[in-house]
Structure 1
Amino acid sequence: MANVGGFFKNVMSEMRKVSWPKRKELTRYTVIVLATVVLMAVFFAIVDLGISELFRLYLDL
């Protein structure tokens, strides 16, 4: 049980060393991530629709 206490003590010690981003940086990074996710979702939706249409055209022949 002493190892568990030592583990959490070391975790707290390491967490104090972490350089946390400022609020403005965090907001900017969040917007970038969300925009990237939306753009990738739109891209893959368009690719999916295109491939589906190609299969429909091929199966109608």
Structure 2
Amino acid sequence: MIKFLKNVGKEMKKVSWPKGKELTNYTIVVVTTVVFFAIFFFIVDQLISLGLNLL
């Protein structure tokens, strides 16, 4: 277990972490995508509910 954790520490030092501006851009993309899909599935759900209520 100790050897594994030491290896994890070594590998984490090799990781290229995003800079502040990149992180902000990635966050905006993720939030925008989540909001888009939430609205899309809300509309689809409403249309399916409307269609089922008409039957």
TM range (shorter): over 0.9
Q: Structure 1 residue runs of 4+, over 2 Å off?
A: none
Q: What aligned pairs does 1:3-18 form with structure 2 within 5 A after superposition?
A: 4-18=1-15
Instruction: Give the gaps of 5 or more residues in structure 2.
Output: none
- How many residues in Structure 1 have an aligned counterpart in Structure 2? 55
Instruction: Give the gaps of 5 or more residues in structure 1.
Output: none
Percent identity among equivalent residues?
56
Report the TM-score when normalising by structure 1.
0.87
Report the TM-score when normalising by structure 2.
0.96
> What is the CA RMSD across the aligned residues, in angstroms?
0.5
Deviation of 1:17 (Å): 0.4
Specify the structure having the higher radius of gyration (Cα).
1
Q: What aligned pairs does 1:1-61 form with structure 2 within 5 A after superposition?
A: 4-58=1-55
